[in-house]
Amino acid sequence: MTRFEGRVAVVTGAGRGIGRATAARLAREGAAVVLAARGTEETGALAEELRAGGATALAVAADVVDEAAVAALMEHAVAELGRLDVLVTCAAAGPASGPTTELTLEQWRTVLDVDLTGAFLACREAGRHMLAGGYGRIVNLTSFHVRATYPERSAYVAAKAGVGGLTQALAVEWGGRGVTVNSIAPGPIRTDRTAWFLANDPTAQSGMLGRTPTGRIAETEEVAALAAYLACEEAGHVTGQTVVIDGGWTANAWWGTHPWQAPLPSR
């Protein structure tokens, strides 16, 4: 498919995980992509790989909590590639796990700065260019933790809930000017971190897989496919939404083994 032919996309947190998969997906569908992360080691290698496949790809170092750096990132995209059509915000600090009573203010601020303020700055700066051009697609990454969470994740849940609220607010504010804003709430995703837990922690296996009706966790490419849809021109009437992709995890209230995973007990 070439849904993004002639479009320019910026992806933050593009060095690994969902950000990397999304940037690659957009590039394969014809977008010129700007890969943003704090450093360029991982994004530089990905940019080379994408260019070898015929795509236009730039790797740019930008810390999403640095206001000037985020503004410069968007300016660079426009200066080098002529426009800015798509933003996908994937940069994240990760959860500060532990009892809330022991959570330090520094830990709290780090998570909110990267996950929430970083998304705000990227949306604001990209939005300025999109609104000037009368077209834009913004996709923010939030989390299934805003629907159903674990203990000891207060900072992460607060930050991701804020991203969902930001998404709604911007969708309402910018919808009449050609810019849509949506978010994706992934459930457990197969990344380096979850792969380790699944291989080494039986509790994680039962918790992630046992509660998921589909019986598996998602691949990053599946989230990237959803992001690509929300970012494409055809999704112009979808805005202000948070789309959960979790194999039914948050819909499930069953506390034991699913009937299709083991025989039901005799009555």
Residues tagged active-site? 156
Distance, CA of 133 to CA of 205 (rounded, Å): 47
Which is nearest to 91 in space by CA: 47, 133, 60, 49? 60
Strands 189-190 and 8-12: unpaired
Q: How far apart are CA 203 and CA 93, in angstroms?
A: 24
Beta-strand pair 218-219/189-190: parallel
Closest CA to 160 of 228, 224, 111: 111
DSSP β-ladder status, 218-219 and 8-12: unpaired
Contact 143, 186 (CB under 8 A): yes
Instruction: Report the C-alpha gap between 5 and 26 in whole angstroms.
Output: 10
- Residues 134 and 151: their CA atoms lie apart, in Å, by 43
Among the listed residues 257, 204, 228, the one whose alpha carbon sits nearest the alpha carbon of residue 33:
228
Q: In angstroms, rounded to a whole number, what is the distance separating the alpha carbons of residues 57 and 48?
A: 8
Task: Please give the Cα distance from 189 to 208 (Å, whole number).
Answer: 10
